[in-house]
Chain A
Amino acid sequence: MRMLARAVLPGAVLALAGAAASADDFYRGRTLTYVVATKPGGNYDTYGRLIARYMQKHLGADKVVVRNIPGAGHIVGANFIHAAKPDGLTIGTFNTGLIYAQVLRRKGVKFDLRRMGWIGKASTESRVVVVKKGSVPATIDALRPKGEAAKVAVSGIGSAAYNDMALLRAALRLNVRLVPGFSGNEAEMSVLRGEVIGTIGSRSSLDDFVANGHGVFVLEIGGRARPGLPQARDLVRDDRDRALVALIESQGELGRLTAGPPGMPAARLAALRAAYGKAVTDPGLVAEARKRGLPLAPAVGDAVGRIVDDALNQPPETVALVASVMNVEVTTVTVRTGLLSVGARGRTVEFMSGDTRITSAVSGSRTRVRIGGKGADRRRLRAGMNCTIEFRPGGENESRAIDCKATGG
């Protein structure tokens, strides 16, 4: 994947530079708004400001304004970018973890990552699991104690570290108890104090901790293989576990995304991608990033979109699995369509949800069935009725409500 990105990048820049030439004049005299979905000061803000500055230079824009729009774990910022006018003057960055948010249909998500105008990503970071120096054993088996679960410090529920650890626990059958709520480096302090046995995080954030002798790397997820440090993908056997590890790896793959709203004119998107590509390879930016300890492994344009698509296209079983692993109640999906068939005594119905044929269980007690606006028994459902069906994807796809128009005659 990395090789692909490295091969694609120079080619993409050249091709896009050509297409962008015509859109060059558009940015002259105009202001580009770069949205950062966090408060000022964190890593997203740092990368964002750095990239925005160099993009201004390469776009020939009059000004670039960095706007911080924090809230709800990057969702507010991402909503904003998605809803912005697609004239190429508003782009921004947000957490790759929003992939989880979309997969699990979290409430409040108003964006569709599939449709956003992908500009590029700046880094690739593997995730690592670290345990306290002096733990016995100093391997991943420290997280598989017999008896009482080992405690691991992670950041808030729904955050990247939390999600990664929860999925890892399921994929590797670990015996750990997640202690959430540690933000920033607090997790490392907790390991130092001996309250927890270890923590998970991106490689660059935990490098110093290990270098200073406080901890030991025991597992890596994603990135290239390193001697003496096992990779999660080598420790899993069946497809389910492999899918979970792949999901974690894709998170690390797509570090520091930059995207614009859906529907931007092709020429402007090309211009943005070209400028981004030049910005992230600009020697000035590279030097600054190195000095500030910000790893860089950029990719531009479609390559990014493809990885996002892959990560988003999870079969319903995986969605259900991810949801159950993360203890999230998946919200329902609502479709308005015709019933393809009705099972015996109305216990199941079949219909199309998008391109997927869904068989949904209809509960006598939990599903609310209405025909013609009035409450009805499920046995009165007929194939061919036009209904609005609200169901929970996964497992039996149980319907919460079925509202059908009364059939004439």
Chain B
Amino acid sequence: MDVDTVLSALAALAGSPRLMGLLLLAIPIGMFFGAVPGLGGKIGVVLLIPFVFGMDPVAGSVFLLAMHAVVHTGGSIPSILFGVPGTGPDAATVIDGFPMAQQGRAGRALGASLGASGLGGVVGALFLALMLPVLGPVVLSFSPAEFFLLAILGITFIATLSGDSLIKGVSVGLLGLMLAFVGADPQTGIDRYTFDLLFLSDGIDVITAVLAFFAVPEMIALGVRGGAISMVGRQAARYSFREVVDGMVDVFRHWGLSLRTSVIGAVVGMIPGLGGDAASWICYGHAVQSSKTPERFGKGAVEGVIAPETANNSKEGGSLLPTLFFGVPGSLGMAILLGAFVMLGVKPGPTLMLTGLDMVWIFIWTLVLANVIAVAIFLLCAPWFGLLSFVRGGLLIPFVLLLAMLGSYLGHGAWENLVLLAGLGTLGYFLRRYGWPRPPFVIGLVLGPIAENSLHKALAIWGPTFFLRPLSLLFIALIVASVAFYVVRGRRTKRSLLYDF
């Protein structure tokens, strides 16, 4: 990796009006696809492929990459303002981002998410750059055994996200896990819990579940309560440019967390098969665990916005690694990008390392610049977005519910998802009403299938001793540490409560 290649790539990118023009065009498109619930980056790439066909490889790739890189930056907008996740991985942002909007701090949440996205994207690109030389052995050491343990690690976070009652949290988490098993059994192909409905054969749609558990209950509650999303009056809240910038500075105030979650996100992105949702939830869980005051989470803790948003963007850089160098996509979105790369004439594979390194560096710089410029664009518009949280509920609720239904329907074009939305939404409302935590449900739902599939594969490949692999033992240690951490902290809190007498 010599400085010459690195800098000349930057010069090639920044110095070319055509490339920069494409980059600038791609950013609002990417943010749009992220912001409209149910669309997402994948559809964006698919729809843009006919337009880039015929472009030279570098230009086309820069365009698509830039678009894809900022999807989650845009996805945080509806998550924070309405509690409607723009994309699956943005669901974790809702947990703390939406309460912040309710407290009149939407601007700050948007600023934090913005800064986090930018930082995450840059770190992800850096990660890509640094990992280039050691890529092969690292990616190859992650096998189904490690996926399984990573998923279990994520599931242990259910405990930490349970708030004050472990029993409630675990129950909800187990409910999510149970619903995760609806669908075709990966080992036998037999449908489970599908009541002979083809619609359930693929399992419960995660986007629908997330919208049902977060967006719908919040809108119902808003209707019941009356008023606007922000429970604090406009005068009392200090929305302005200032607030947004404040939020961005928050990212650097918590620089340790921001950097850690960026790296975790990039690593998770690098491992093909885990998926984007896992990254944001694992990082959210980590933020809760590593905080000295975990009770604040779920009620508007800015770290709860920073952690998942860094992960969302850094995973893009990470998932480019296997995509470019093995031709194995790091995620579904990358699978589509891979097809686009091939079409454009970029040949992913080990030869790229040898002959196409300068192009890879242009890609890396594209990620960096796209994320930074997106921050700037977003920054200009953020205060106006923030205003939306002060709009009267009566005007907003139908709009948000429509967005939620759109998001639920668009994924599969199945009207049954709307029924599911209504049913799970009602359940979500009652969970909210009686103080039961909801994030554990999503964790169970998302990580359950990964855990099950990986477990079956690991058993098929190695038999019951699969966890004796060195990397697996490391993860087991992490799981034990995570649980121990939680238990010890719980005991310490109890002790301190006792001493309060």
Contact = CB atoms under 8 A, between A and B. Distances in A.
Nearest to B40: A40
Contacts of B460: 151, 177, 179
Interface string B137-154: 001110110000000000
A343 interface: no
Given A75-B198, A291-B345, A158 B350 contact: no
A108 B196 contact: yes
Interface stretch (B45-53, B73-81, B92-100, B309-317): B45-53
B46 A40 contact: yes
B413 A107 contact: no
A156 B184 CA distance: 10
A346 to B, nearest CB: 32
12 contacts: A49-B46, A49-B50, A53-B50, A75-B198, A76-B199, A157-B185, A181-B186, A184-B335, A185-B326, A192-B326, A291-B343, A328-B189
Contact of A185 (B50, B198, B329): B329
A396 interface: no
Interface string A16-46: 0000000000000000000000011110011
Contacts of B272: 185-186, 189
B146 to A, nearest CB: 11
Interface of B: 42-43, 45-46, 50, 53, 139-141, 143-144, 184-189, 191, 196, 198-199, 201-202, 272-273, 322, 326-329, 332, 335-336, 339, 342-343, 345, 349-351, 412-414, 453, 456-457, 460-462
B101 to A, nearest CB: 31
Nearest to B46: A40
Interface in A271-315: 288, 291-293
A67 B46 CA distance: 13
Interface of A: 39-42, 45-46, 49, 53, 67-73, 75-76, 79, 107-108, 151, 156-158, 177, 179-182, 184-186, 188-190, 192-193, 195-196, 208-209, 212-213, 288, 291-293, 327-328
Contacts of B335: 41-42, 184
Nearest to B189: A157
A378 to B, nearest CB: 29
A370 to B, nearest CB: 24
Given A179-B461, A189-B272, A212-B350, A327 B188 contact: yes
Contacts of B343: 291-293
B453 A70 contact: no
Contacts of A291: 53, 343, 345
A129 to B, nearest CB: 19
A234 to B, nearest CB: 31
Contacts of A67: 413
B200 to A, nearest CB: 9
Contacts of B273: 186
A121 to B, nearest CB: 21
B501 to A, nearest CB: 55
A212 B349 contact: yes
A189 B135 CA distance: 14
Given A76-B198, A208-B327, A41 B413 contact: no
Contact of B328 (A42, A177, A188): A188
B42 A40 contact: yes
Contacts of B342: 292-293
A51 B46 CA distance: 15
Nearest to B459: A179
Contacts of A189: 139-140, 272, 322, 326, 328
Nearest to B273: A186
A181 B187 CA distance: 8
Nearest to A329: B190
A176 B238 CA distance: 67
Nearest to B188: A157
A179 B144 CA distance: 11
Nearest to A50: B50
B330 to A, nearest CB: 10
A41 B68 CA distance: 14
A190 B322 CA distance: 13
Nearest to B452: A181
Contact of A157 (B50, B184, B414, B461): B184
B461 A195 contact: yes
A157 B186 contact: yes
A41 B336 contact: yes
B332 A41 contact: yes
A156 B339 contact: no
B327 A41 contact: no
A196 B461 contact: yes
B412 A70 contact: yes
A53 B49 CA distance: 13
Query: What are the 9 tightest A-B residue pairs by CB atom distance, in nearest-first order?
Result: A157-B189, A41-B336, A292-B343, A72-B201, A185-B328, A108-B198, A179-B460, A40-B46, A72-B198
Given A49-B46, A181-B186, 5 more contacts: A40-B46, A72-B202, A156-B184, A189-B322, A195-B462
Contacts of A186: 272-273, 328
A45 B49 CA distance: 12
Contacts of A293: 342-343
Contacts of A76: 198-199, 414
B341 to A, nearest CB: 10
Contacts of A180: 186-187
A68 B188 contact: no
Given A41-B335, A177-B460, A184-B335, A71 B199 contact: yes
